[in-house]
């Protein structure tokens, strides 16, 4: 169960593969948010004496925070949903929620599978509500 003689298949390879898979989606969402940002705000902060790190932390980061949160939610949703990547990068001892659900439904759909599915839907709904509230509060501060 060795991958190129360096990494054993397991939770590490699952994590690395999901990071590689989701990075592009997050980058697109954050980049779209940054394109709508006014560069003169960062320049004004620099003119008022802020260091580059302070300008990023106090001006840029709050403006792109909704994009970061949206990207994180998208990455979470894609990662939970993507059984194929997990199946091919998991080792013999690694067990994740999608693998457990798959092994449960191979036999029959049990009440446990229905309960886990309901909990996942509620978690996703809660995260969407939180993200929309963060986005709404950011828009309210902006306008």
pLDDT in tens, 5-39: 677 788 888 899 999 999 998 999 899 888 888 88
- State if pTM tops 0.75: no
H or E element: which one contains 7?
strand 7-8
| The token pair that represents 9 in the structure block | 């298949």
Q: Is the pLDDT of residue 44 over 90?
A: yes
25 three-class SS: helix
Phi-psi bin for 2: left (phi > 0), alpha (psi -120 to 50), beta?
beta
Average model confidence (pLDDT) across the chain: 84
C-alpha gyration radius of the chain: 20
Better pLDDT: 59 or 99? 59
Bridge partners, 3 (sequence order):
7
């Amino acid at each position: 169960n060795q991958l190129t003689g360096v990494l054993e298949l397991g939770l590490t390879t699952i994590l690395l593969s999901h990071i590689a898979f989701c990075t592009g989606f997050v980058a697109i969402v954050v980049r779209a948010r940054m394109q709508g940002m006014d560069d003169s705000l960062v320049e004004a902060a620099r003119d008022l004496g802020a260091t580059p790190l302070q300008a990023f932390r106090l001006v840029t980061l709050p403006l792109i925070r909704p994009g970061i949160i949206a990207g994180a939610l998208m990455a979470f949703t894609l990662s939970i949903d993507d059984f194929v990547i997990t199946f091919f990068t998991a080792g013999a001892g690694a067990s994740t929620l999608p693998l457990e659900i798959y092994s449960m439904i191979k036999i029959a759909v049990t009440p446990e599978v229905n309960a886990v599915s309901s909990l996942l839907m509620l978690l996703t709904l809660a995260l969407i509500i939180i993200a929309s509230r963060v986005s709404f509060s950011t828009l309210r501060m902006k306008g």
